[in-house]
Structures are given as C-alpha cells and as structure tokens.
Structure 1
C-alpha cells in the first residue's frame, strides 16, 4: 500500500518533532506544559500541529487508495503532503511566517483535494 510509505515517513517526522520538545524540556528543566518558556512553547506547537493534521491527511489518502485512486496520484498527493508537513515543522521551529503560510496552504490544498476525491469516489 502506498499510504504506508507516507505514514512511515510522517511517523518519523512526528518522532523528530517529539525529540525537539524533549530537548527543550531538558534544557529548561520543565516537566510538563511549556513552563512559560518560549522555545518550548514553539517546539510543542510544531509537534501538536503535526499530530493534528497528519492523521486526517493519511486517513484521506488511505481511503482514496482503497477506492482505487491511481498510484501516480497517490504518490503526488502523498509527496506534496510530506513536503507541506516538513516545511511547516521547520517554519514553526525557526519562526518563519512566510514558510509557515506556504506549508499550511500546501497541507490544506492536499487535504482539500483528497476530500473532493473521496466524495467523488463515493458518488461514482
């Protein structure tokens, strides 16, 4: 299954973002929440955003795959979704608003396209 590849890549990304949170917790000796430490709040924000958007994107990709979307389209949408999610994490961690806007447009674009594809596949 094609979705498995993108799920594995994005699982690695979530782990990377988790490590960024752990590093900030250790550096600032904060055991829970963000301790009102800006760098920790930023790392937590990057991680939580990933855990909010990645699951729905992967679910929609899997459903499109199960409903017979061509492999080229699955790879295109999966790759663009990965680029958007990686770009977003880096943008948040580096406080780069332009990259953050690009990454969310990319993420919303893929989710929107997959939403339409899945609705279309049900009706056809």
Structure 2
C-alpha cells in the first residue's frame, strides 16, 4: 500500500496532538490527587485551570485533526499540513501554559487562541479550495 507524504504528515500531527491531550489530562489527574477532588474542581483554582486547559484543548483539537486528516486524503501539500499542525500545536501549548499560570486574561492565552484560530482558518480555506473540482 502506498501511503502519501501527506498522510505521514497528518499522522505526525495527530500523534503529537494526542500526546498534548494526554499530557494535559495527566496534569488534571495530578491536581485531583493533590487536592483529593474526585468530581468537579472542588473550588481549587489550580484544578479548575488544569481542567479548563484540557477541556479547551479537547474542544479544538479533534475537529482540527479531522481537517488535517481530510487534507491528507485529498492530497494537500505536505507543507500545508505541517504548517497547520505546527501552528495549532503551538497555539494549544501557549494557551495551556497561559491558563495554567493565571485564570485571568494573559498574553500567552491570547496568542494561543489567535494561533488556534489561524490554523482553523487555514484548514477551512484549504478544505474549501480542495472541495471545488
């Protein structure tokens, strides 16, 4: 079976984003164990922040990874898949770090959201481009 370079690129970014989700999940579990909270955030700011960092990533990453996979299926250039995957990963990491440092507004959170949105826009435009025969 011949697997295209685009599929390999998509596999890389899906794999890296799964590692990110796992890492964020582990941070939530660590906070739960530390503060002995089994459900919700127990009013513990650090747990609430860790939970939101994980939750926010799970709100964005799955749909973006579907977009990356579909771009690979339609034979989009490998560089496009790498750019979208990279920008999204950087955005999600920056957002998570910013949120873990403060529950309020922060430059890292803002940059993270902006990078995430740029990745989404690039993916959407590319998908629409490839949708037109």
TM-score scaled by length of structure 2: 0.88
Q: How large is the RMSD of aligned CA atoms in angstroms? A: 1.1
Distance 1:66 1:121 in 2: 10
Q: Does 1:99 align with 2:108?
A: yes
Greater mean deviation of Cα atoms: 77-86 or 39-48:
77-86
TM-superposed deviation, 1:97: 0.9
Find the counterpart in structure 2 of residue 52 from structure 1. 59
TM-score scaled by length of structure 1: 0.94
TM-superposed deviation, 1:105: 0.5
TM-superposed deviation, 1:4: 1.1
Find the counterpart in structure 1 of residue 82 from structure 2. 75
Find the counterpart in structure 2 of residue 114 from structure 1. 123
Identify which of 77, 87, 93 aligns with 1:86.
Answer: 93
Identify which of 27, 35, 43 aligns with 2:42.
Answer: 35
Runs of at least 4 residues off by over 6 Å = none
TM-superposed deviation, 1:13: 0.9
* Structure 1: gaps of 5 or more residues: none
Find the counterpart in structure 1 of residue 30 from structure 2. 23
TM-superposed deviation, 1:120: 1.4
* Structure 2: gaps of 5 or more residues: 1-6
Summarize deviations over 1:57-111 as a string: whole Å, max 9, x none. Answer: 1111111121121111111111111111111111111126101000100001110
